[in-house]
Structure 1
């Protein structure tokens, strides 16, 4: 199913897609040169917003949790990319230990772990799933929402290695397991657990990719530089691909401190966006998204259209904004230019999410929400996913077709997602403790 895109505002996007198709050899050459300089993250997902006049990433996740939502017909792309990614990090790897999030009651997330395990197994690895959750003290079988199951085993540490001990479940013996590489599917929002520190095994992604240290503002600062260079290549205004942003680092929503700083930053950013809207003749009302500078799962986010919106917040909103996943207190926020989404499926607002492994696009899906508007965050309770949105691979444009033909629109999505991936690669290199 290919979503319907409102066409009244897509002139700017059509021009962008035309330029991308015409410059495809230069674009791919440019990406190849970048990947010679920077190490790609092992995997990532990028949330995009398509406003017709602007196509931009609004979030980049380095611990993607939606592999179960990908089109199963693209499994071969995932497997091939996984083989390349593993060869780069641990060429001799035969065993892989996956460490998932601790929320074992989320059966949809467990389905993601099941699918990720299948991909890595199909890539030629012996895969087991180890838990660092205090709730998992013995080997445990957990059911997904659709009848599959995964086996979780408690992780133990011996010196500078983590492993699984021999155990028995349902009459089956699971041998002790010591892996070359450890794949985190846990974003470390609650901090870095001591069991994962100073390991001699290859830990992917690295610990500094987790939300205990990572900041969205660092990512988008790197994205600014990437887009400036890419826009020169295409001779376009970088704003078409790039949401403006600012930060406010001393906010306490409970104590109601930092509100005036936040209101001032909101006003400055809205004025900056208004100038761009006037330049392009855009009649929509500018807005910004205020969200925690660290964290995920769509928590701690609000849509703001006026500086007054962040003054005198009611108790419910202050409570919502003050804490994110794992009870992490919010003191730093990013104020990001809001990007409308004018895509819909069955009249419900939708946004594309692109998945990558190594530096390859392996597919994607649409996040859909029937209860949200075109200027609101869709990563919220009530969302659902349309896994068959990408009918063809994002990496195979139809240069003879129209610029807005599905494979060409999806190629554009893949290009912008890879720009965000490159920004993440730069961000990780710059934040690596070894490079400090």
Structure 2
């Protein structure tokens, strides 16, 4: 069963779906030309929110770790995309080394690694999992609940190459977001491809840079479709050096929350939207232990600051100040039974390879669903309906709706390619 939309089959989101379907040839040509000029991230996933009146990405992950949620029917797409991605980088590739997160105790993540290994194995590669976790000192077999297992091996660092015992890979695939920094063992590797590049990790990456790039591509897509780009773009503001627990940077945060809420109110008035606007406050890089906060009024911030101080145990300086992203809150009107849901689009190279719904029975339509208690429901498409079906009324066809989600997902992926180009430390700088 595909989660169904509880909004009526009229209004902006269905008009948007119709525009997207009617413009399919132009959209695909536009993406094709973009990929002639820009290199897509090796793989990515995008959290999309459908408010019924707008559709926008709220997070783009360059180290996706939910591959186990893709259905068997989606695997051929992922395998073909993996083949295309590898051929572009290292056509003669034989061996691939995947480097996972440290402390891999989560069985869901282990299942994702097993699926990723399976995809690249079917793409014609020998695949091993090499751990840089200091706790993994010898080959370690980890059994999954379904009886499957994965084998983690300690990484061996040579002068210029990485590998594991008796295994010399052409390509190193990172499945760790480097939020704790770039470990020395991954630096100065010159004879192998490291994907995604190190500057795709949270040590370098900033959400504000990504959404600035997304704003640019959304404007261009809006022009192509003849729509207001706001319908596919979450507005945002940024504040530097904020620490809720210490009360640092609260003046900037308060003023920027006010500014953004004002912009959203004007848009809601323009479209006759009766919902109460809200913003989402989160760190600009990674999470750093700070949850995602929903704010409807800047007056709420002192209470949030007090709560953060209590959570930090009142220990001054327990957490350093961080740059903060204030993002337009996008409701989700998708549901699976009684649980709130949001689609997650998975991509490899420039291709959409599948997706699933993240659902959370304990969260509201204006809250972050990526939290403890979340569940995942695969997109249950029939074999014959992966492709969009022109002529079907908007909102009535799951493939049509997912095609629209895929367009927004690919826009976010294109924004990520712009972002990686802009932050590449080895790129030549011209005046």
Aligning the two structures, in what range does the TM-score lie when normalised by the shorter sequence? over 0.9
How far off its partner does 1:256 sit? 1.1
* Contact 1:182/1:204, CA 8 A, preserved across alignment: yes
User: How large is the RMSD of aligned CA atoms in angstroms?
Assistant: 1.9
Q: Show the counterpart of 1:434.
A: 426
Q: Show the counterpart of 2:224.
A: 233
* Contact 1:390/1:410, CA 8 A, preserved across alignment: no
Distance in 2, matches of 1:319 and 1:289, equals 21
Q: Show the counterpart of 2:402.
A: 410
SS of residue matched to 1:250: strand
Spell out, residue by residue over 1:318-350, the C-alpha distance to the aligned partner (whole angstroms, 9 max, x if none): 47699xxxx985511100000000010011100
* Contact 1:263/1:310, CA 8 A, preserved across alignment: yes
Change (3 A) 1:423 1:8: same
| Structure 2 gap segments, 5+ residues each | none
Matches within 5 A, 1:419-430: 419-430=411-422
Say if 2:95 is the partner of 1:95: yes
Q: Show the counterpart of 2:180.
A: 190
Q: Show the counterpart of 1:112.
A: 112
How far off its partner does 1:356 sit? 0.3
Q: Show the counterpart of 2:71.
A: 71
* Contact 1:5/1:342, CA 8 A, preserved across alignment: yes
Q: Show the counterpart of 2:121.
A: 121
Distance in 2, matches of 1:100 and 1:115, equals 13
| Structure 1 gap segments, 5+ residues each | 166-175
Change (3 A) 1:188 1:242: same
Spell out, residue by residue over 1:46-94, the C-alpha distance to the aligned partner (whole angstroms, 9 max, x if none): 0000001000000000000000011121110000000000011111110
Distance in 1, matches of 2:311 and 2:37, equals 41
Spell out, residue by residue over 1:183-233, the C-alpha distance to the aligned partner (whole angstroms, 9 max, x if none): 000000000000000102100000000011100000000001001111101
Change (3 A) 1:299 1:64: farther
Q: Which has the larger displacement, 338-347 or 295-304?
A: 295-304
Say if 2:300 is the partner of 1:313: no
* Contact 1:395/1:414, CA 8 A, preserved across alignment: no
* Contact 2:248/2:321, CA 8 A, preserved across alignment: no
Q: Show the counterpart of 1:141.
A: 141
SS of residue matched to 2:242: coil
Distance in 1, matches of 2:105 and 2:295, equals 33
Q: Which has the larger displacement, 288-297 or 260-269?
A: 288-297
TM-score by length of 1: 0.93
Distance in 1, matches of 2:111 and 2:46, equals 20
Runs of 4+ aligned residues of structure 1 deviating over 6 Å after TM superposition are 319-322, 392-395
Distance in 2, matches of 1:376 and 1:9, equals 24
Q: Show the counterpart of 2:19.
A: 19
TM-score by length of 2: 0.94
Change (3 A) 1:219 1:428: same
Say if 2:167 is the partner of 1:177: yes
SS of residue matched to 1:117: helix
Say if 2:197 is the partner of 1:223: no
